[in-house]
């Protein structure tokens, strides 16, 4: 296409054009090769450390594999066993419980905090830093910290409740309260999402608020008719990320509760991990991983489908 003006310029140019035509594609090809070479570390890393394990785990999910000896084909055995494994269901229920509470609460808290930190006030940068800080504390460190805060006898949280005249629960040592405790803990680290909301908030044109004010809108109108709809793509993004993250919830439970008490914090990933590395059932664990993948995929698709109803892009649904 680009060569057609040249071709029209005259016959004397044509031989040049004929020679240069393969030259152009030669350059292009060379560029492609160079480009590929430049990204080859990533490419190799992706192939060796992501795609290959991905494919292997799919294969392992149909085998009995104890890591030490070679895998033996087992067909759908692992999946059939999973259906009959009460701990599989328990871990799945625990994970759904956690997701059901932590993701929506995380969004509410994140947005609320971002709204507050978006106000014009002296020293706001300091506040923003303070609220963001928890999300840069390493999970292990914060987990140990929360272990102390939640201590039923000597912990700060129950001390405050006691001051208010409430007898605090056992938190992490009580099977009925261990999951709520972990949800509360997750809210503390909402700063990461909050920063994204904050960026989203600052993108909302001020004129919209101004014209709404002229129309007589008060703060709640502004929030529900301007802020939230305008923020919906950001909320949508955080919802998806939150879903994926909470379905794979692992570290905190691994460090703090190790699944206890009474299996109340035996989350899906934790049980998967135990099967793979403590009980020598890599095949079984791989099958679990693929089921989790399917669940996350389905949940994400569902959210994507629903997004047409509530996510606004550039003021339109």
Partner 1 sequence: MKYHVRTFFTLLLVVVIAFGAACSSSGTPAAGGNEDAKAGTTGQKEGDDAQTAADAKSGNGEKVEVVYWHMWTSDWKKLIDSLVEEFNSTHPNIHVKALSITGDANAKFLTAQAGGDPPDVMTQWNQVIPSWAEKGAIMSLEQYIKTDAPDLRSWMYPIVADIGTYKGEMYAVPFSMNTFMLFYNKDVFKEVGLDPEQPPTTTQELDAIQDKLWKIDDRGFIQRVGFMPGWLWQWSTAFGGQWADKDGNPTATNENNLKTLEWFQSYAKKYDPKKIAAFNKSMSSNVNAAWPFLSGKQVFAVDGMWRLIDLKNYAPNLNYGIVPLPYPEGSGKPNASWVNGNYNIIPAKAKHPKEAWEFIKWLTGYGNEAWAAKMLPKGGWIPPSPKITEQPDYQAFMDEIPVRRKFVELMGSENVQITPVIPVQQYYWDRAGSAEEAVMNGKKTPKQALEDLQKEVEKEIAKSSKK
Phi and psi angles of residue 167, each rounded to the nearest 5 degrees, phi first: -85, 110
Pick from 9, 16, 24, 36 the residue near partner 1 by CB under 8 A: 36
Tokens of 205: 């044109």
Per CB under 8 A, contacts with partner 1 among 275-294 are 276-281, 284
160 binds partner 1, rule: CB under 8 A: no
Place of tokens 């014009």: 120
Nearer to partner 1, 274 or 307 (CB): 274
174 binds partner 1, rule: CB under 8 A: yes
Rounded Cα–Cα distance for residues 163 and 168 (Å):
10
Total residues in contact with partner 1, by rule CB under 8 A:
40
Burial class (CB in 10 A: 0-12, 13-18, 19+), 200: buried
Q: Which stretch binds partner 1 (CB under 8 A): 147-155, 205-213, 219-227, 303-311?
A: 147-155
66 binds partner 1, rule: CB under 8 A: yes
Nearer to partner 1, 35 or 315 (CB): 35
Rounded Cα–Cα distance for residues 142 and 252 (Å):
9
- What is the DSSP code string of 129-183? HHHHGGGGS-HHHHHHHHHHHT-TTT-HHHHHHHHTT-----GGGSTTTHHHHHH
* H-run or E-run covering 72: strand 72-73
Pick from 10, 15, 23, 41 the residue near partner 1 by CB under 8 A: 41
Which whole-number Å values give the CA distances from 3 to 55, 123, 169, 303, in the listed order? 45, 60, 78, 47
Nearer to partner 1, 230 or 291 (CB): 291
Pick from 82, 147, 181, 296 the residue near partner 1 by CB under 8 A: 147
Nearer to partner 1, 91 or 227 (CB): 91
Rounded Cα–Cα distance for residues 100 and 310 (Å):
19
Pick from 6, 58, 64, 237 the residue near partner 1 by CB under 8 A: 64
268 binds partner 1, rule: CB under 8 A: no
Rounded Cα–Cα distance for residues 284 and 179 (Å):
26
Tokens of 46: 């992706």
179 binds partner 1, rule: CB under 8 A: no
262 binds partner 1, rule: CB under 8 A: yes
312 binds partner 1, rule: CB under 8 A: no
Q: Which stretch binds partner 1 (CB under 8 A): 4-12, 25-33, 227-235, 241-249?
A: 25-33
Residues in contact with partner 1 by the rule CB under 8 A: 29-30, 33, 36-37, 40-41, 44, 64, 66-69, 72, 77, 81, 147, 151-153, 167, 169-170, 172-175, 259-263, 274, 276-281, 284
């Amino acid at each position: 296409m680009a060569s057609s003006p040249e071709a029209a310029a005259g016959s004397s140019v044509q031989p040049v054009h004929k020679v240069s035509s393969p030259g152009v594609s030669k350059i292009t090809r060379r560029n492609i090769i160079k480009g590929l070479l430049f990204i080859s570390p990533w490419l190799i890393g992706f192939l060796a450390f992501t795609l290959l394990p991905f494919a292997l785990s799919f294969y392992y999910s149909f085998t009995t594999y104890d890591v030490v000896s070679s895998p033996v084909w087992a067909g759908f055995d692992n999946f059939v066993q999973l259906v009959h494994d009460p701990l599989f269901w328990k871990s799945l229920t625990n994970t759904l419980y956690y997701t059901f509470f932590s993701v929506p609460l995380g969004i509410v808290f994140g947005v609320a905090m971002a709204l507050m930190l978006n106000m014009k006030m002296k020293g706001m940068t300091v506040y923003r830093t303070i609220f963001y800080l928890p999300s840069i504390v390493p999970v292990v460190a914060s987990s140990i910290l929360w272990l102390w805060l939640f201590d039923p006898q000597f912990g700060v949280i129950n001390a405050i409740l006691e001051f208010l005249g409430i007898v605090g629960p056992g938190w992490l040592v009580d099977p009925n309260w261990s999951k709520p405790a972990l949800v509360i803990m997750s809210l503390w680290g909402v700063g990461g999402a909050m920063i994204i909301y904050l960026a989203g908030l600052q993108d909302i044109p001020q004129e919209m608020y101004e014209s709404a004010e002229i129309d007589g809108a008060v703060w709640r109108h502004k929030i529900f008719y301007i802020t939230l709809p305008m923020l919906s793509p950001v909320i949508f993004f955080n919802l998806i990320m939150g879903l994926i993250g909470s379905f794979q919830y692992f570290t905190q439970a691994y460090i703090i509760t190790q699944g206890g008490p009474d299996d109340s914090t035996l989350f899906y990933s934790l049980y998967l991990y135990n099967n793979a590395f403590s009980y020598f059932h890599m095949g079984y664990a791989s099958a679990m991983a693929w089921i989790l993948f399917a669940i996350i995929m389905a949940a994400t698709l569902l959210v994507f489908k629903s997004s047409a109803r509530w996510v606004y892009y550039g003021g339109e649904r």
